[in-house]
Chain A
Amino acid sequence: MAGSLIKITSASTTSNVSTIDIGGANWDSSYDVYMVKLYNLEQSGTTDVRLKARILKSDNSADSTANYDYAYKGLRTGAGFDNLADTNQTEFTNLTYLFRGSTSYGANAIFYLFNFNNASEYNFITVEGNGYGYDGSELMGAMGGGVHTVAQVGKGLQFSLTTDSISNAYIDLYGLKK
């Protein structure tokens, strides 16, 4: 159906930042499901990194408590599938598996957010992302999901990298029209 994705807010950078928040003060709580589109993600350094995310709480700060569980299938052109899973972490990680981002490659991903406006339910996300990683010559991706095992309202995501700064990224937040 045309017009079902309603753009709420955007975040972008073309210079180094440690984190990028999407949502927070710009969060619109009138949707049941949200989509986050992240593209042209690049890093400040030259070694492989992993994309991470934390849930933004009702005060717009990132929740860094050890309540993040995730499970993805890691996809690679150079080897077999890898199982990427962990529990009670302080963030979601491996969101596009490994990538090495320069101007010629980098990472892209789509996330769906569920239950973010329900204070009595856990926050869930689904993940599908990929990037050019490992040694800079292999497509790697992740597909799966995660849950933040705290019953609280979420107001978006805060993205960062395992090492390095984010040097380039474009992020859009959409609500799925009911």
Chain B
Amino acid sequence: MATLEEFQAECRSELQALRDGDGIFKQVNNERLPISDDDFEQMIVDCANGKFDQQENGYKKARLAEYPSYGEQLDYIYHNGLEAWKTDIIQPIKEAHPKPESP
């Protein structure tokens, strides 16, 4: 598990390489401009926060995206019972996207 500071360092390295390579641009109305140093620092913050959130909460979003609709789940429970619903529907999704362990 990485810390926010470690993600910031990782993002700075990745984005600096991009900026030194092809450059990083922004669109302001219909003007294409190179990003400023302030923009660059904000990109690092956003990048690191995004990676940290994905690490901490990505499993929740991934599970939410894969659970079938309530109707499908209720139908499955009606036909197969609660235990089958747990093992066949819920458990595989939870195992595919495990909750990260605390450090």
Question: CB of A29 within 8 A of chain B?
Answer: no
Residue pairs across A and B with CB atoms within 8 Å: the count is 70
Known: A79-B68, A163-B50. A19 touches B27 (CB 8 A): yes
A46 contacts the other chain (Cβ, under 8 Å)?
no
- Does A102 reach chain B (CB closer than 8 Å)? no
Which residues of the other chain, A, contact B32 by a CB distance below 8 angstroms?
A: 13, 15, 17
Known: A80-B70, A90-B49. A20 touches B27 (CB 8 A): yes
Segment at the interface with A among B35-43, B75-83, B84-92: B35-43
Task: Tell me whether B29 and A82 are in contact (CB under 8 A).
Answer: no
Query: Does residue A21 face the partner (Cβ distance < 8 Å to B)?
Result: yes
Interface residues of B (CB under 8 A from A): 22, 24-30, 32, 35, 38-39, 42-43, 45-46, 49-50, 64-71
With a CB–CB cut-off of 8 A, which chain B residues contact A24?
28-29
- Check B30 against A17 for contact (C-beta < 8 Å): no
- In this complex, the interface size class of chain A, counting residues with CB under 8 Å from chain B, is 20 to 34
With a cutoff of 8 Å between Cβ atoms, the chain A residues found around residue B27 in the complex are 11-13, 17, 19-21, 166, 169
Chain A residues whose C-beta falls within 8 Å of the C-beta of B67 in the assembled complex: 79
Instruction: State A128–B20 Cα separation when bound (angstroms).
Output: 37
CB contact between B29 and one of A11, A17, A162 (< 8 Å): that residue: A11
Chain A residues with Cβ under 8 A from B39's Cβ?
18-19
The digit string for A145-173, where 1 denotes a CB below 8 A from any CB of B, is 00000000000000010110110010000
The answer on a CB contact under 8 Å between B64 and A82 is yes
**A26 contacts which chain B residues (CB < 8 A)?**
29
**Assembly CA distance A79 to B43 (angstroms):** 33
Q: Within the assembled complex, what's the spacing in Å between the Cα atoms of A20 and B46?
A: 15
Q: Which residues of B contact A169 (CB under 8 A)?
A: 27
Which chain A residues lie closer than 8 Å to B26 at the CB level? 17-21
With A9-B29, A13-B32, A82-B64 as contacts: A64 and B42 at CB distance below 8 Å: yes
